[in-house]
Amino acid sequence: MSLPAFAELLERLVFTPGRNAKLSLLGRWFADQPDPERGIGLAAMTDELVFAVAKPGVIRELGAARIDPELWRLSYDYVGDLAETLALVWQPRAGLRSRSATGAERESQAMEEATNAPPPTLAEVVEALETTPRAGIPALIAGWLDTLDAGGRLALIKLVTGGLRVGVSGRLARVALAEWSGRPVEEIEEVWHGVAPPYAPLFRWLEGAAPRPDPRDTPVFRPLMLAHPLEAADLAALHAPDWRAEWKWDGIRVQITAGPGGRRLWSRGGEDISGAFPEILAAMEFHGVLDGELLVVRDGEVAPFADLQQRLNRKGVTARMQRDFPAAVRLYDLLFEGAEDLRGLPFDARRARLEAWHARAAPARMELSALVPFDSLDALSRIRDGARAASIEGLMLKRADAPYVAGRVKGLWWKWKRDPLTVDAVLMYAQRGHGKRSSFYSDYTFGVWRDDGELVPIGKAYSGYTDEELAWLDRWIRNNTVNRFGPVREVERGIVFEVAFDAAQLSTRHKSGVALRFPRIARIRRDKPVEEADRLEAVMALLEKRSG
Amino acid sequence: MRPVTSPHPETWLKVTPSGLFCEPGGFYIDPTRAVERAVVSHGHSDHARPGHAHVLATRETLAIMTQRMGEGRAGATQQALALGEVLDVNGVRLWLRPAGHVLGSAQVCLEWRGSRAVVSGDYKRRRDPTAAGFEPEPCDVFVTEATFALPVFRHPPAEAEIARLLRSVALFPERTHVVGCYSLGKCQRLVALLREARWDRPIHLHGAHVALCRVYESLGVKLGDLRAATVAKKDELRGAIVLAPPSAVADRWARRLAEPVVAVASGWMRVRQRAKQGGVELPLVISDHADWDELLATADDVQAPEVWVTHGREDALIHALAQRGIRGRALHLVGRGEEDEDAAPEAAA
């Protein structure tokens, strides 16, 4: 009964907005399912295992073989999704319903049908897909569809067409494994990329029945060390000589792993993003593990985040993308040199090793992220205020004697972002949130005035307000709606937000021509008439030069 | 079946702006505006309208109408007709057969000079502990709904959906499960199905559901321990099941609940995108309407050479009926589909 159980899990995951609920559902799956079912399911959800054996044409042909073309057309028109249409209209061939049966009889027949032939297990599906020649795949799928109910059919079709899309990232899956097993997530992270579906040794270890799997030479992700935001009180307590400062670049944190077992570029959450950055992979002519910031760099100048965004969330990359948006890494730290684990060393010692290694290895596309020298915290504060380049988010403060530890340990690393920019903008549209906020209009699109007197949207914010402000805004929005577009309400122009953001960047995607980095609601300006909200020119004036 | 000398039903059963009118009998069936004489198939508001001078229906439907519309608004005079009892109205034979849709729901069977038409109202073929099961009546013209008339709508067994709900309650015992459901019929059927599944704990109700549950109980349908959700404390509702109108489950009313799991019980939940639009976390495919197979099977069961389709997705149904040699006709009745699942989910949510 594993495929039906998997189908039920997928259905719950698709409809569940809450992270905690997703973790519970995944934990239940790990606890209830035997090997190798649980591992295959895990791999399928996290896209570690993808079977794209059936193209949409196969799905259409299967539909055409079983249903009248006019009814298929009307059904597909209504549902709008090919896989789901087939799953819903499919009629099991065995046990055709008799035409004169009463409703109750039909119902019991339907239940019997479901138990006639046993549905396949995930392991059976995997094995058959791997061993069946391409020409035999449609008949194989049809045979399975006959054994499944509508939910099971949808899961199977999504599985064979390679489009599960259930919103389970690798990171979420590892947190779920940690919560279910009681092991720290960092320990799981370190072996994750060294184990392969269906992960039997991993599950045995997590259940306490075997030692931790040894990844040997396989490149694995080491959990990153993270920082806390620096508040004024924290700052006052710092003793300047104990600290080192470096720029906080506005790119994405990455880990570089290279050695005899292979090369990998990992995102902050441990996703393998190697495929999107072949030029970085090509530059990894060394053996070691490094921590750094991935950026687009042109002629030594760091480009705004929007440029890097062009390269993210892609499986592959074109030569043109590599030329127009050249990637590079600014190195922060050295975790392994060769096979030697440096993470237990103090920051200063690791920094010295990093500098020496970098001078020797001289890797392409990788520069050191320079330390920022300072005499006093006051002086450092002035340096921070003076940094207005779009590519710099602020400063990082790292304790000189701190080892490299996984996660966010308080008091070792601080991020000290520069003060945000602000703009006064008018609330234009509101949408309800998810999970706990599903009954609140909590997502706000705001705009500023253009010369011709039109209000143009410049961004969307979901945070920054208190619970009381949210309740007040929700009431106000419901009482001042002028238009509805599905889940979105257009509101009377009556609220001015002071919106804080980290940087303004040119954008071709927005009508206003500008996009904001990390916008959030700083204040509700109940005192300010909407006519006095900012003009687009004022926002444009905050645009930083395209290169830092 | 109709003798060749008998008149075709279209000569005596006519579509008017007020709905289907039986000319020789001088009465309307489920009229959409106030009329002199109305025969009402069941209590949903798109079939049962207030202000008629004379209303004929089952005893249960009359009680439901009176509760919903107020004393005197549900027909100046009311006439209860028992199932199977035959009445002669100006030469038209009239009787009622159960439709299985909600408590009191009935098909209106009419015979005039040897020619027989059955107006089924809304119906389902599944077992429902709160409503008498549908009985097919052979006829010359069968008037059917088509709410779920697409092959994508095949309702799974309701018991299996209830089992999914109870599995979710077991998995999230600290959260309240709030199930969106229509106040007449679906609500009471869910309660009865939960009781059959041995859910003996109190079931909490939104205020809009309380009155009709009382009517059901007064008519002999046992629903067990029902309580008002409105007065319960948040912590008392942890692990509880709450029934509320679909419009309330994901909106302000639901804030009183403890980390609610939002479920909706409706045939529309079959299609994912529909369910996602409403912010539903647990879609339950439980319907009080016939699904695709049942619509076709019913057309066969009543052996009618002609089927008239009142409202819903008539294209697919008429196409499929034609393949079975049955003549289909779309009536395009106005004003249907405004309460219960007839309504498109966007309007209901």
- CA B55 → CA B23, B30, B46, B105, B331, distances in Å? 17, 10, 15, 14, 23
Q: Is 90 exceeded by the pLDDT of residue A17?
A: no
Strand spans (E) along A104-186:
none
Residues, chain A: 548
Q: Is 90 exceeded by the pLDDT of residue B277?
A: no
Closest-CA residue to A103 (of B142, B324, B128, B97):
B128
Mean pLDDT of A144-172: 91
Which residue of the set A22, A248, A436, A545 is catalytic?
A248
From the list A12, A74, A99, the residue facing B315 with the nearest CB is: A74
Contact A86, A62 (CB under 8 A): yes
- How would residue A94 be classed by pLDDT, with cut points 50, 70 and 90? low
Number of residue pairs across A and B with CB atoms under 8 Å?
A: 116
- Please give the Cα distance from A141 to A54 (Å, whole number): 9
106-125 in chain A: CB under 8 A from chain B:
106-107, 110-111
- Please give the Cα distance from B23 to B277 (Å, whole number): 44
pLDDT at A461: 94
Chain A contact present for B324, CB below 8 A:
no
Angle at A475 between CA A469 and CA A478, to 5 degrees: 135
Q: What residues form DSSP beta bridges with A516?
A: A504
- How would residue B53 be classed by pLDDT, with cut points 50, 70 and 90? very high
Mean pLDDT across chain B, nearest whole number? 93
Q: At what angle do helices B59-69 and B207-218 cross, to 10 degrees?
A: 150
- Going from N- to C-terminal start, the domains of chain A cover 3-161, 225-417, 421-540
Closest-CA residue to B147 (of B309, B257, B333, B16):
B309
Is A436 a catalytic site residue?
no
Q: Is 60 exceeded by the pLDDT of residue B76?
A: yes
Question: A460: part of which helix (H) or strand (E)?
Answer: strand A455-461
B316/A74 CB distance under 8 A? yes
pLDDT at A4: 94
Mean pLDDT of A50-56: 85
Mutate to test the interface with A, among B161, B262, B281 (most CBs of A within 10 A): B281
Q: Is the dihedral of CA A63, A69, A71, A72 positive or negative?
A: positive
**Of A34-38, A151-155, A434-438, A452-456, the least confident:** A434-438
- CA A341 → CA A195, A334, A348, A350, distances in Å? 21, 9, 15, 10
- How would residue B194 be classed by pLDDT, with cut points 50, 70 and 90? very high
pLDDT at B80: 98
Q: Is 70 exceeded by the pLDDT of residue A103?
A: no
DSSP H helices in A232-341: 232-236, 278-282, 305-309, 319-324
Highest-scoring range by mean pLDDT, A65-69, A304-308, B37-41, B71-75: B37-41
- Judging contacts by C-beta atoms under 8 Å, the chain B residues touching residue A12 are 168, 282
A439/B252 CB distance under 8 A? yes
Mutate to test the interface with A, among B164, B168, B272, B277 (most CBs of A within 10 A): B272
Mention every residue, 6+ apart, whose C-beta is less than 8 A from residue B196: B129, B159
Closest-CA residue to B187 (of B258, B64, B288, B99):
B288
A71/B151 CB distance under 8 A? yes
Mean pLDDT across chain A, nearest whole number? 89
Structure-block tokens of residue A442: 């909590």
- Please give the Cα distance from A390 to A504 (Å, whole number): 8
- Judging contacts by C-beta atoms under 8 Å, the chain A residues touching residue B153 are 88
Q: Residue B267 carries which DSSP code? A: G
Spacing of C-alpha B257 from chain mean position: 28
Contact B121, B108 (CB under 8 A): yes
**Of A48-52, A84-88, A147-151, B128-132, the least confident:** A48-52
Question: A145: part of which helix (H) or strand (E)?
Answer: helix A137-145
pLDDT at A337: 97
Q: What residues form DSSP beta bridges with A456?
A: A448
Mention every residue, 6+ apart, whose C-beta is less than 8 A from residue B158: B126, B189, B193, B286
Name the fold adopted by A225-417: D-amino Acid Aminotransferase; Chain A, domain 1 (3.30.470)
pTM of the model: 0.81
Q: Is 60 exceeded by the pLDDT of residue A360?
A: yes
B251/A81 CB distance under 8 A? no
Rg (Cα) of chain B, in Å, rounded?
20
- Please give the Cα distance from A385 to A378 (Å, whole number): 11
pLDDT at B341: 67
A84/B134 CB distance under 8 A? no
- CA B148 → CA A152, A523, B145, B184, B247, distances in Å? 21, 49, 9, 19, 21
Q: Is 70 exceeded by the pLDDT of residue A117?
A: yes
Closest-CA residue to B136 (of B290, B340, B332, B326):
B290
Mean pLDDT of A484-494: 89
Chain B contact present for A484, CB below 8 A:
no
pLDDT at B338: 59
The superfamily (CATH) of domain A3-161 is: DNA ligase, ATP-dependent, N-terminal domain (1.10.3260.10)
Q: For residue A462, give how far its alpha carbon lies from the nearest alpha carbon of chain B (Å).
A: 18
B313/A74 CB distance under 8 A? yes
Q: What residues form DSSP beta bridges with A481?
A: A491
Q: For residue A74, give how far its alpha carbon lies from the nearest alpha carbon of chain B (Å).
A: 7
B276/A15 CB distance under 8 A? yes
DSSP H helices in A207-297: 232-236, 278-282
Q: Is 90 exceeded by the pLDDT of residue A418?
A: no
- Please give the Cα distance from A288 to A257 (Å, whole number): 6
Contact A219, A258 (CB under 8 A): yes
Task: List pLDDT tens digits, range A496-534.
Answer: 999 999 888 888 777 888 889 899 999 999 888 899 999
- Give, rounded to a whole angstrom, the gap between the first and last alpha carbons of chain B: 44
Strand spans (E) along chain B:
13-16, 19-22, 27-29, 37-39, 54-57, 77-80, 87-89, 92-98, 106-112, 115-119, 141-146, 177-180, 203-205, 226-228, 241-244, 261-265, 282-284, 306-312, 327-330
Angle at A504 between CA A503 and CA A505, to 5 degrees: 120
395-434 in chain A: CB under 8 A from chain B:
432, 434
Mean pLDDT of B315-334: 92
pLDDT at A100: 40
Percent of chain B with pLDDT over 70: 95
- Please give the Cα distance from A469 to A473 (Å, whole number): 6
Q: Which amino acid is at B183?
A: S
- Please give the Cα distance from B163 to A152 (Å, whole number): 16
Phi-psi region of B70 (alpha: psi -120 to 50; beta: other; left: phi over 0): left
105-164 in chain B: CB under 8 A from chain A:
124-127, 133-134, 150-154, 156-157, 160, 164
- Judging contacts by C-beta atoms under 8 Å, the chain B residues touching residue A101 are 297
Count the helix, strand and coil residues of chain B and give each as a percent rounded to the nearest 5. Answer: 30, 25, 50
**Of A16-20, A342-346, B97-101, the least confident:** A16-20
Mention every residue, 6+ apart, whose C-beta is less than 8 A from residue B140: B1, B2, B6, B8, B9, B115, B116, B117, B304, B305, B306
From the list A24, A78, A487, the residue facing B172 with the nearest CB is: A24
Minimum CA–CA partner of A105 in chain B? B126
261-290 in chain B: CB under 8 A from chain A:
261-262, 270-273, 275-277, 279-283
Contact B215, B59 (CB under 8 A): no
pLDDT at A166: 87
Minimum CA–CA partner of B258 in chain A? A436
B252/A75 CB distance under 8 A? no
Q: For residue A151, give how far its alpha carbon lies from the nearest alpha carbon of chain B (Å).
A: 9
Phi, psi (deg, nearest 5) at residue A436: -60, -20
168-227 in chain A: CB under 8 A from chain B:
none
- How would residue B349 be classed by pLDDT, with cut points 50, 70 and 90? very low
- CA B206 → CA A109, A139, A536, B226, distances in Å? 36, 50, 48, 10
Are β-strands A340-341 and B306-312 bridged in parallel, bridged antiparallel, or unpaired? Answer: unpaired
- Please give the Cα distance from A41 to A29 (Å, whole number): 9
- Please give the ipTM for the structure prediction: 0.93
Spacing of C-alpha A270 from chain mean position: 10
A89/B151 CB distance under 8 A? yes
- How would residue A396 be classed by pLDDT, with cut points 50, 70 and 90? very high
pLDDT at B348: 33
- 3-class DSSP state for residue A444? strand
Half-sphere exposure of A497 (CA within 13 A, CB side): 30
User: A264-284 burial string, b = 16+ CB within 10 Å, else e?
Assistant: bbbbeebebbbebbeebbebb
pLDDT at A113: 47
30-89 in chain A: CB under 8 A from chain B:
67-68, 70-71, 74-75, 78-81, 84-85, 88-89
Strand spans (E) along A260-391:
262-267, 288-298, 301-302, 327-337, 340-341, 366-368
- Judging contacts by C-beta atoms under 8 Å, the chain A residues touching residue B280 are 15
Q: Is 90 exceeded by the pLDDT of residue B69?
A: yes
Q: For residue B23, give how far its alpha carbon lies from the nearest alpha carbon of chain A (Å).
A: 33
- Please give the Cα distance from B108 to B98 (Å, whole number): 9
User: A161-191 burial string, b = 16+ CB within 10 Å, else e?
Assistant: bbebebebebbbbbbbbbbbbeeebebbbbb
CATH class of segment(s) A421-540: mainly beta
Mean pLDDT of B174-183: 96
- CA B348 → CA B49, B99, B154, distances in Å? 19, 23, 21
- Please give the Cα distance from A114 to A145 (Å, whole number): 11
Minimum CA–CA partner of A436 in chain B? B259
